[in-house]
Structure 1
Amino acid sequence: MRLPDQLIPQQHLFTRTVDTAPVRFVRPNDTDRPTWAAYEESRYLGTVHGRPDLDGAWHVQTLNECHLSLDDAVRALRRPATWVTEREHVRRWARHLLDDPHLIILDVQTTGLNTAWAVQIGATDRDGNALFDELVNPLTDITPDATALHGFAPHQLAAAPTFDTLLPGLAHLLADRTCLTYNADFDRAVLERELHRLPQHTRAAHPTLRPRTWADAIAPYAAWKGLWSARHQAYRYQPLGSTYDAVANCRRLLTTMQCMC
């Protein structure tokens, strides 16, 4: 039985499948409050309380945490025993990066998700100061889905500089830096794709567009949140809640890193 969260307070006994694994919820006989003990097979996971006074959040009693959905409350209860140690490793990783005076936070907005080209590149330092904030004429179409996310259409970028114009400044900025992104493989692939479509003489002048080190916050942030997927046997991906402005995204990631510390 799969119930919307708003209907659950009416139920005394129900089963909810979370990430392909069923969880049984039992309300104690001595209360009519929105409180349930959660069981996975015969294993007691913990007790959760519906909190309509907190915008419908779910309080996990055994963890003293609140989550916006019952599924996330269950995922928190499913954390492996190693989570505390892993979270401490993440804290140290984040602290180490933020202590690096050469840290740069990078975000690239693109024409789409597949074989994408840059439409905006932003970068900040570890204090959130903008170091690079440029629109890019991608010289190609932008998918409607991408436009819906970041708001850029081809006609809006017709007067923007092309990537080859921005390349010298960007290459100088990234040189010998630690570059932090949210999904480094994607951003790195976009920059390399842009570089490889340039004329040979331009590529020869800037043979690499690589920082000293790439750092990706996706997996560490997922581990820090600690919402365990029974289906994938891994921590669930956590969106940052992007504003789809490159510099604003950099600052959002910086704030997240500071929280992780």
Structure 2
Amino acid sequence: MVTADFGVEDWGHCLEYVVDGTPVELVRPCDTERPTWVAYENTRCLGTLHALIDTRGTWHVQTANEEHVRLDDAVRALRRPPTWSQDRDRARQWARDCLNDPRLLIIDIQTTGLHNAWAVQIGLTDRHGTALVDELVHPRAEVEPAAVALHGISAGRTTTSPTFSMLLPELTGFMAGRRCLSYNAAFDRGVLERELRRHYKNDRLQAEAWLQKCTWEDAMRPYAAWKGLWSARYRSYRYQPLGGVYKAVANCRRLLSTMQHISH
């Protein structure tokens, strides 16, 4: 069984490769010594893969005319369900609808950590990428070292920054009635809910009433469907990292650029 993407010059004519827990049999046609294999899964032919080791160092998926850096992703592309074309079109139309909506607001929040986190930076932009809010936030809590390593915002950097409660009137003015777009919206909305419940002295109803003043959209699933890398283990499109830096407004603009890419 092969477990690495490189050294394909030494691979044989028939080998097994496991992606997402499910094996794929790679068979090199007998009439070539080129780094080309036909992929089979449970006797079903998925398609042909070419290792472009002499040119770009990527894997070319012949049927889709795509290139992937990793063999795993090339196999995931071959495993796409028959509905992928329609799923991709739905993601494209959704992105166009978002970008054409004047109510669109892109939001990103950097936090003290991953679990039960508080905000240390909030960024909001409009659909053109214009920054509406770009603020460090005093979290009134410790910032985990792992979080500081990512975004560089230590508790010391926020000592003179406004608290969430101080920013709330400004956030309300921008977010009320808007279509809020985020990457992993459940996380950002959860941070806001936690901050609101602290502001309203743990009054859950007041916090939820504030959140319901705007609608929420998550770009994570549509982007995964648009990329179309299928996970055999989870029977769904594989999560795709957005990339970029851990800066709130920069991430908003990165998401906006991704949405524009999806919409074309």
TM-score by length of 1: 0.95
Structure 2: distance between partners of 1:210 and 1:242: 29
Are 2:22 and 1:2 aligned?
A: no
Are 2:237 and 1:230 aligned?
A: no
Paired AA for residue 232 in structure 2: A
The match for 1:184 is 185
Structure 2: distance between partners of 1:50 and 1:64: 13
Distance apart, 1:151 and its partner CA? 1.1
The match for 1:33 is 34
Is the contact made by 2:200 and 2:207 (CA closer than 8 Å) also made in structure 1? no
Matches within 5 A, 1:28-177: 28-53=29-54, 55-177=56-178
Once superposed, what is the RMSD of the aligned Cα atoms?
A: 2.0
Is the contact made by 1:142 and 1:154 (CA closer than 8 Å) also made in structure 2? yes
State the percentage of identical aligned residues.
57
Higher mean displacement: 49-58 or 7-16 = 49-58
Could you list the runs of 4 or more consecutive aligned residues of structure 1 that deviate by over 4 angstroms after TM superposition?
A: 202-207
Structure 2: distance between partners of 1:54 and 1:221: 29
Instruction: Return closer, same or farther for 1:206/1:11 CA change in 2, 3 Å cut-off.
Output: closer
Is the contact made by 1:9 and 1:50 (CA closer than 8 Å) also made in structure 2? no
Is the contact made by 1:118 and 1:138 (CA closer than 8 Å) also made in structure 2? yes
Distance apart, 1:167 and its partner CA? 0.7
Distance apart, 1:210 and its partner CA? 4.2
Q: Which runs of 5+ in 1 are unaligned?
A: none
Structure 2: distance between partners of 1:155 and 1:45: 54
Paired AA for residue 245 in structure 2: T
The aligned length equals: 261
Structure 2: distance between partners of 1:164 and 1:143: 22
Paired AA for residue 51 in structure 1: L
Distance apart, 1:43 and its partner CA? 0.8
The match for 2:11 is 11
Paired AA for residue 234 in structure 1: S
The match for 1:250 is 252
Higher mean displacement: 206-215 or 184-193 = 206-215
Higher mean displacement: 207-216 or 146-155 = 207-216
Is the contact made by 2:193 and 2:208 (CA closer than 8 Å) also made in structure 1? no
Paired AA for residue 6 in structure 2: Q
Instruction: Return closer, same or farther for 1:170/1:68 CA change in 2, 3 Å cut-off.
Output: same
Is the contact made by 1:178 and 1:211 (CA closer than 8 Å) also made in structure 2? no
Instruction: Return closer, same or farther for 1:199/1:23 CA change in 2, 3 Å cut-off.
Output: closer
Instruction: Return closer, same or farther for 1:120/1:85 CA change in 2, 3 Å cut-off.
Output: same
Is the contact made by 1:78 and 1:228 (CA closer than 8 Å) also made in structure 2? yes
> Which string of whole-angstrom CA distances, capped at 9 and with x for unpartnered residues, describes residues 179-201 of structure 1?
0000111101101111111255x
Distance apart, 1:157 and its partner CA? 1.4
The match for 2:261 is 259
Distance apart, 1:174 and its partner CA? 0.1
Q: Secondary structure at the match of 1:214?
A: strand
TM-score by length of 2: 0.94
Instruction: Return closer, same or farther for 1:199/1:228 CA change in 2, 3 Å cut-off.
Output: closer
> Which string of whole-angstrom CA distances, capped at 9 and with x for unpartnered residues, describes residues 133-153 of structure 1?
000010111111111111111
Q: Secondary structure at the match of 2:3?
A: coil
Is the contact made by 1:174 and 1:210 (CA closer than 8 Å) also made in structure 2? no
Q: Which runs of 5+ in 2 are unaligned?
A: none
Paired AA for residue 3 in structure 1: T
Structure 2: distance between partners of 1:92 and 1:207: 30
> Which string of whole-angstrom CA distances, capped at 9 and with x for unpartnered residues, describes residues 86-137 of structure 1?
1111111110110001100000000111000000000111111111100001
Q: Secondary structure at the match of 2:243?
A: coil
